[in-house]
Amino acid sequence: MIEQPVFIALDFPDATTTCKFLEPFSDLVEKPALKIGMELFYRTGPEFITELRALGYTIFLDLKLYDIPNTVGRAVANISKLDVQYLTLHAAGGKRMLEAAVANKSDALKLLAVTQLTSFSEAEIQEIQLTTATIEESVAHLAELAYSAGIDGTISSPLEASLIKLHTNDRFLRITPGIRLAGDAAGDQVRVTTPAEAKKLKSTGLVVGRSITKSTNPVAAYQRVVNEWRK
């Protein structure tokens, strides 16, 4: 498994578009890790995951599971058979749901719990979730909940990575989306940083979408992110 992974978020509508995007990456000695979200997975299904694995890609399946414990447990058992390396679920599903996921996963699968979406501001979280908790309080609580249930790490803004480390331990994964290269637009993300800033904030892995996928030279943009992240 790749240490300190940089996942490219493949937010494409279909397999054809995705494969065309990936063509220039085929010559790299170390293939990038790939994040497959709901949009692409629901269109292409498990077969496309199998194809990408056969090509040697590390796969992060971002489905953000949230349901009753039995349903999530059975879903994780089925997803484990796809030989993906990472899978997301919502920490807000509660400890019993998280424990059901842990009990049904394969040894090779890392489970990542979503704390608060990077598209949310603190005001939105408080309004939608009917809470007076700050972002930091909410993220710390959900990270502790996931850690206590045996989850491998979290998905959160890099701005909360140091806080999560403080409330868990150094081995707990802190994978952070909301990454932009300097000068790139934030888009619909609210809590964003550069790769270098994320490293200082104690992220252990990055998810990068538009800064790579919308670049005129995606391979160069990816390498710039990796170099900035790992230097």
- CB within 8 Å of 161: residues ≥ 6 apart: 174, 176, 198, 201, 202, 203, 204
Which range is least confidently modeled, 63-77, 136-150, 157-171, 191-205?
191-205
CA–CA gap between residue 201 and residue 70 (Å, rounded): 36
Q: What is the pLDDT, as a whole number, of residue 207?
A: 95
Q: What is the pLDDT, as a whole number, of residue 47?
A: 96
Q: What is the pLDDT, as a whole number, of residue 192?
A: 73
Quick one: which H or E segment has residue 218? helix 218-230
- CB within 8 Å of 47: residues ≥ 6 apart: none
Between residues 76 and 30, which one has the greater pLDDT?
A: 76
Q: What is the mean pLDDT of residues 7-34?
A: 94
Torsion angle in degrees (nearest 10) through CA of 72, 59, 45, 216: 130
**pLDDT tens for residues 52-62?**
999 999 999 99
Q: What is the mean pLDDT of residues 22-50?
A: 94
Which range is least confidently modeled, 171-180, 183-192, 205-214?
183-192
- The yes-or-no answer on residue 64 being catalytic is yes
Q: What is the pLDDT, as a whole number, of residue 41?
A: 97
Please measure the distance between the N-terminal and C-terminal CA atoms of the chain and give it in whole angstroms. 20
Given 20, 31, 35, 64, the catalytic residue: 64
Neighbours of 60 (CB within 10 A): 26
Report the chain's mean pLDDT, rounded to a whole number: 92
Please give the full DSSP string across 80-146, using - where no structure is assigned: HTTT-SEEEEEGGG-HHHHHHHHHHS-TTPEEEEE-S-TT--HHHHHHHTT----HHHHHHHHHHHH
CA–CA gap between residue 231 and residue 226 (Å, rounded): 8
**pLDDT tens for residues 71-82?**
999 999 999 999
Q: Evaluate if residue 186 carries a pLDDT over 60.
A: no
- CB within 8 Å of 27: residues ≥ 6 apart: none
Read off the pLDDT band of 8 (50, 70, 90): very high
Q: What is the pLDDT, as a whole number, of residue 187?
A: 56
**pLDDT tens for residues 90-147?**
999 999 999 999 999 999 999 999 998 878 888 998 999 989 999 899 999 999 999 9
CA–CA gap between residue 120 and residue 128 (Å, rounded): 10
- CB within 8 Å of 110: residues ≥ 6 apart: 1, 85, 86, 87, 152, 153, 173
Q: Evaluate if residue 189 carries a pLDDT over 80.
A: no
Q: What is the mean pLDDT of residues 157-183?
A: 91
Is 213 in contact with 21 (CB distance < 8 Å)?
yes
Read off the pLDDT band of 182 (50, 70, 90): confident
